Amino acid sequence: MIDNILVCALILLILSILATIYRLVKGPSTPDRIQALDALGINMISGVAIFSVLLRNTGFFEVILLIGILSFIGTIAFARFIERGVVIERKSD
């Protein structure tokens, strides 16, 4: 019974990931795309967690932590990019 519920949750999560990818590609503005990228990271964390429970394996916890850290760093980097832009410093010889 629980396995069927977890499979249904994974299917719904895949649909959510597809909708998020659509928003990531088609988003009307850059902040919408950044928000979609953050939501994609959260959906991926949820998917790996459900998959881990489905397989009854705790080996995926490191993957969940890694995705969370990378998603957070990516969101911060994009937010800084929007706020200030990219500044390239040149070395004077």
Into how many domains does the chain fold?
1
Q: Is residue 91 part of a domain?
A: no
Q: Is residue 47 part of a domain?
A: yes
Q: Is residue 93 part of a domain?
A: no
Instruction: Write the CB contacts of 12 (distance below 8 Å, at least 6 apart in sequence).
Output: none
pLDDT surpasses 80 at 19: yes
What does the pLDDT look like over 60-92, one tens digit per residue? 999 999 999 999 998 888 888 877 766 566 666
Whole-model pTM: value is 0.80
The pLDDT score that the predictor gives to residue 22 is 94
DSSP string, 14-73: HHHHHHHHHHHHH-SSHHHHHHHHHHHHHHHHHHHHHHHHHHT-STTHHHHHHHHHHHHH
Structural domain range at position 78: 2-84
Q: Is residue 46 part of a domain?
A: yes
Q: Is residue 19 part of a domain?
A: yes
